[in-house]
Structure formats: structure tokens, C-alpha cells
Amino acid sequence: MVDTLVCWKCGASLAELPLPLGRRETCPSCGADLHVCRMCRFYDTRVSRACREPVAEPVMDKERANFCGYFEAAPGACRPGDDAAGRAARDQLDALFGGAPEGSPPGAPATSDEAKEQLDRLFGKKD
């Protein structure tokens, strides 16, 4: 099974576009630039400058078209912001701290005293 190329921003298929992608190529669905760091196989936020290519020039805006000569389109470039792993982590935090009252930010304790008590229990602190 061959991975098809999809837009880094909206996930729309780019199978109809000729390869290699040109510097001015845009997504037919959302209009996003495609010759961008976020669409490259070397893009990796865990490394310096978010690029695994050691000799590439630094690019400040990873979501705008650039002139990088090392660009190689990556099939799995679409990374939605709200994924299952993120939701699971939030659910675990809510379970640990008992959830939050209506209208408060996710993971916020009901009162400052409750928050201090939870932290003291978590770290085994005794008065």
C-alpha cells in the first residue's frame, strides 16, 4: 500500500498534483502553501530548528512557502491538533484531580485549598 500525499493543513488528498511539488504550489482544497517545512519529510519539532537536515538554511515560518533545496514532500504531513492521545491525557488529568467545576478551564481544581491538598497528597507532603 502506497501512502498518498495529503495537505499538511487540511488533510485533503494531493494525488492529482505533479511531483516534485513546486515552490508556489498550493492545496486545491484550502489554499495552503505546500512547499513548506510542515510538509517536508525532514520536519521534526523534537530537533534544533525543527529540521533533521543538518545543512539546510534555517526557515523562520514553517507554514509559508520557502526556497529550501532539501524539501521532500512527506505523505503523513497532516497532524490534526486535537488527537486521541491529547484527549486521553486530558481525561487522565481530570480523573486524577477530580475534574473541574462548570465554566473553569480544563484540569482546574475547584478552589486553591483543594489544589494545594491535591498537590500535597500527590507529593506525600505532611504538615
The model's pLDDT over 25-43, given as tens digits with 9 standing for 90+, comes to 999 999 999 999 999 999 9
Same domain, 69 and 107: no
The model's pLDDT over 115-125, given as tens digits with 9 standing for 90+, comes to 778 888 888 77
Q: Which residues pair with 26 in a beta bridge?
A: 33
Same domain, 42 and 98: no
CA distance 36 to 59: 9
Same domain, 61 and 90: no
The model's pLDDT over 1-30, given as tens digits with 9 standing for 90+, comes to 357 899 999 999 999 999 899 999 999 999
CA distance 116 to 86: 25
How far does CA 71 lie from the centroid of its chain?
A: 19
Task: Supply the pTM of this predicted model.
Answer: 0.61
Do 44 and 51 form a contact (C-beta atoms < 8 A)?
Answer: yes
What counts of helices (H) and strands (E) characterise the chain?
2, 0
CA distance 57 to 62: 12
Quickly state the pLDDT bin for 101 (edges 50, 70, 90).
low
Q: Residue 50: which domain range?
A: 1-80
Cell of residue 12, nine digits: 485533503
Mean pLDDT of 68-97: 77
Q: Please tell me the total count of domains within the chain.
A: 2
Same domain, 54 and 29: yes
Same domain, 24 and 62: yes
The DSSP code for 59 is -
Same domain, 70 and 94: no
Same domain, 55 and 90: no
CA distance 43 to 53: 8
The DSSP code for 32 is -
What is residue 1's predicted lDDT score, i.e. its pLDDT? 37
Same domain, 54 and 110: no
